[in-house]
Each structure stands twice: as structure tokens, then as C-alpha cells.
Amino acid sequence: MDAGDVAVAPDSEDSTADTTQPPTDLGDVSQDTTADATDATDATDATDATTDAGPPTMTPEEFARARELYFNRCAGCHGTLRAGATGPNLLPARTLTVGTSRLRTIISIGTAGGMPGWVRTGLMTMEEADLLARFIQLPPPSPPPRPLEDIRASWRLRTPVADRPTAPRTTRAWENFFGVILRDAGRVAIVDGDRHDLVGLIETGFAVHILRSSTTGRYFYAVGRDGRVTLIDLWTDPPSIAATVQGCFDARSVEASRFPGYEDRLLIEGCYWPPQYVVYDGLTLEPRAVRPVLSPAFSGEPLDEVRVASIIASRQAPQWVLALKESGYVALVDYRAEGFPVVARIGAERFLHDGGWDHTGRYFLVAANARNRVAVIDTLEQRLVTSIATGLGPHPGRGVNWLDPTYGWVNATAHMGQGRFSVYGADPVGSPANAWRVVRTVDLPAGGSLFVKSHPSSPWVWIDAPVSSSPTAARRICVYAKATGMIHRCWSASERGQVVHFEYNRAGTEVWVSVWDRVGELIVYNDRTLEEVTRIRGDWLVTPTGKFNVWNTSHDVY
């Protein structure tokens, strides 16, 4: 999840993000009256507002620039075709009723429901906000397809398998390396989890979204917002790029094959655009197949856009589990079968987003954050168990599992749209009366959360709030105590930027968190005492966001 994937969450459980009745607004602008918000509002009001009278006009150069801005910052939540999902639709029938001035204000200062204030946070200028406000009142341009022949043409094998090391050449403990996304720098940093120093910088291209490990952990797979996949070999010294390929024009997810016998053999990339997934050779990234996912919604509505929002890999079957955002289906892809087809489609809830496994690896728990629910999918019986009403805009990342002293195994999420931490039972065998229902609701100081994180050996769950409408809250960390079922402590971790995304070291003794800022930092905490261990700094730390430990990522520790 990155900043381009964040938008206002609807304000009721039954709201839909693609309502056909144009409202008078696109969401409630934050009531936070901090100086930053006031300054942004004043600047917005001072901008020329003559474009409010009828459809705006744009030069070809302005349109091209605005299209790129929309892709970078908005498409993740509002869709390539602007039909909406996590955020509301931004089609002219809706946006023309709001007008340029109001749209510019929303883009500038954000909303209380989870949309960042792009100008307030310094990630966009007022001129760019005005360009976007005009752009989204015009019909969306039609994006191109990406067939297999084009994907093959993009493939670059830099180091053949036969030329790669047969054992690690580094003397460092590579299984405790962290891959750190440097979002705006177009790089991934490899950082030593023992020494807390830089191992290498990998040029990955535009706005990497996530890293996934191969099953053995030797390779990192990076996927960028531009659909480029980069295969990083951690056994070379320093780590190096073994291959690249571009399967999509817009993407968020990749995942390796994890079923025994298929370790490191295959990789899948899910596209935001075009509506498809691509399967590659896991060691070379040679394209193997491309399969479309466009279909009507599970409830029957026709769709022009279906995005692969997240992917997880089963260890109990040779399958990948795909969340298809707009259609509301969870798709199971069998990678033993020729052509890597979808072998089951399970209707769950529309606008699926991110999620992960329960503690057994059987149930996929996936957030439908525009519907304020978490769907529970039994991947063995291939059915929807239920969906759980949690709160406004659940956003768990891959989620978190632990053994609650009262309710047995549980999972949990925090929320973009409100200050709430919801814990739900996830133990249908050991505690069936509590399974798949909210068993604890804990208040947080603010909404705007993107990630929760824990470790099997930790007494805590760590919670961020980087897209809070309050700059103060966006720099705050809260820690939930598993033993008491209460928030143990909250504190401000930085004086600048946004504090985002947690990751443990291999031993589970340290927690790393990013200061997402142009002058970024990685803060390392002792997980037992919550005391700060160190701050990793350097001119290479430009806009650090997600961090992925090799051992934890390859073993699905979360």
C-alpha cells in the first residue's frame, strides 16, 4: 500500500464507492484546524477559480501532465477509469457537480476519511492540485492493452541462472536482510538487519509498491506502480538485478509459488491495468502466460475495470489466491495446470483490497475497505465463510495473528476512516463461539492507519496512522498489549514526515518503522522494552516506506 492507494472511505457500512447519484461533495474535508490545513485552504482559495463555470479546458501538455499525476497519486484508490473502489468515483457526472475550487481543496488538504492532503504534506504543488482538479472533470482517457508479445519484448535477463553463485558470496547474515522501498527515488535499499547498515542500492524504477521473497529467500521480487518486476539476487555481493520484465502498466502485487516442490519456480504478477495477471518463470522472469480477469461483479453488475488488488500463496495447495477488487471475487489460480487458469471464483464482497492468512494458512482474511468489512474465505472448501463488519475503512496490510488469552486465535485490523482497532476471532476449532466476529473494539487516538504488525514471540501489536488528517497523528505509533487487550502506549516517533509500516528482524527482537519523508529515517525499536535502539540515516534514505525482512517474508511471518 502506498500513498497512491489511499482515499476517503465511505461513511456507512452500506455505502458503495460507485454510487450513480452524484453527490454535492466527494467526502468531508478534515475539520482539523492545524496551521498546515489552514495554510492549504488559504492557498486554495487564492487560486484562480474561473474554471468552475462549466467543463474546464486543458492544453495537451497540461492534460498529459495531469494524466501522469493521476496515475501516480490517485489511480490506486479511484481506478484507472475513475469508476471508484476504495475511493469514490471521479467521473465527470460526479466531479462537475463539485467544481474545480472544491476539488482543489480536497486534493490539497485531504479528508478525515483517509485521503492524504497532497499539498499539505508537500507531495504536490498547488499548481498540480489545480491540474488534477480540472483533469478529473474531463472524460478519462482509454488506457492501452498489454498482450503477451509486448510483455515478452520487455523481458531482460541480465544474469543467466548458470552464471549465478551456487552459494552466498556475502559473509553477512543475508536471511536477516531488509529490503526497504525508497518510493520516490525509484530504488530498493538492502539493509543489514544485524549491523543496521546499507548493503546495496537497487535501481528498480518508478514507485515500488511491495517486495516479496522467493520461497528459499534468496531472491526479492520488487513490483512497481509501472508494472515493472525486478528480480534481485541476494547471494551476490553486493545484491544485484538478475532480470526485469513489465507485465502491466499499473500493478501492486507479486507472489512466488510456495507449495512444496515448486519453490522458486514460478511468480505471478497481478495487474491494476490491464485487467489481467501474468505468470513468469521464477528464476528468470521469462513470461509464461497472461490471463484476463475482467468479468461482471459477483452481484451481476457489468464492469469495465477489475484490478488484482492482492495475492497470497498457499502452502497447502499449488495455488495463488487473488483478490479481484471491483468484481468482489476471490480467485484461485492453479499453477500445476497448463496455462495457469483460475480454477475457482468465490464471491465475497466488492472492492476487495489487501489481506493475508489466518494462523493456520487455510483462511484468507481480506479487507473490503470501501464496504467496511473483512471477508473470510475458506480456501480448502473454496467458499465464503462470512464477512465481518469492523469499522470505517479497514486496512490491515497482511494482518496480524496471535493467541488471545480469552478468545483463542484472533486476527485484527486498524482503520483509515476512524480511530479504531478491531479484533476478531479466528479460531473455529479451538474457540468456535468467537470465530469470525469482532470480540474486542479498542479506541485509537486517530484514524488514518495503514498497517498493523506483530510477531509470534511479541507481546505487542504495532499500529501506525500515516494518512491521518492530523500531521501529529501521522507521526504517532500506538502499541496494543495482547495480554490486557488494551492500548499500552502511544508516542510521537518523528518531528517530520509520516511514520509508516512496521517490520521485525528475523529473531523478532526488533521492530523497524519508516519516517516517510524526503529526508527519511528508519527507526529501530526494542520490541520488548519499546525503547529506541537506533536511527538509520543517510542521504540514500529518500522517502522510505515498506520494509521486508527476508526470513519473515519468505516464511509468511505476520
End-to-end CA distance of the chain: 16
Cis peptide upstream of residue 238 (ω within 30 degrees of 0): yes
What the block records as the C-alpha cell of 267 is 511468480
H or E, element range at 132:
helix 126-135
b/e string for 14-31 if b means 16 or more Cβ within 10 A? eebbbeeebeeebbebbe
Distance CA 290, CA 442 (A): 44
Residues near 436 by Cβ (< 8 Å), separated by ≥ 6? 376, 385, 386, 388, 424, 425, 426, 428
Coil, helix or strand at residue 526:
strand
Q: Is the dihedral of CA 534, 535, 539, 540 positive or negative?
A: positive
| Amino acid occupying residue 319 | Q
Catalytic residues: 74, 77-78, 115, 353, 395
User: What is the SS3 assignment for 264-310?
Assistant: CCEEEEEEEECCEEEEEECCCCCEEEEEECCCCCCCCCCCCCCCEEE
Coil, helix or strand at residue 333:
strand
Half-sphere exposure of 413 (CA within 13 A, CB side): 35
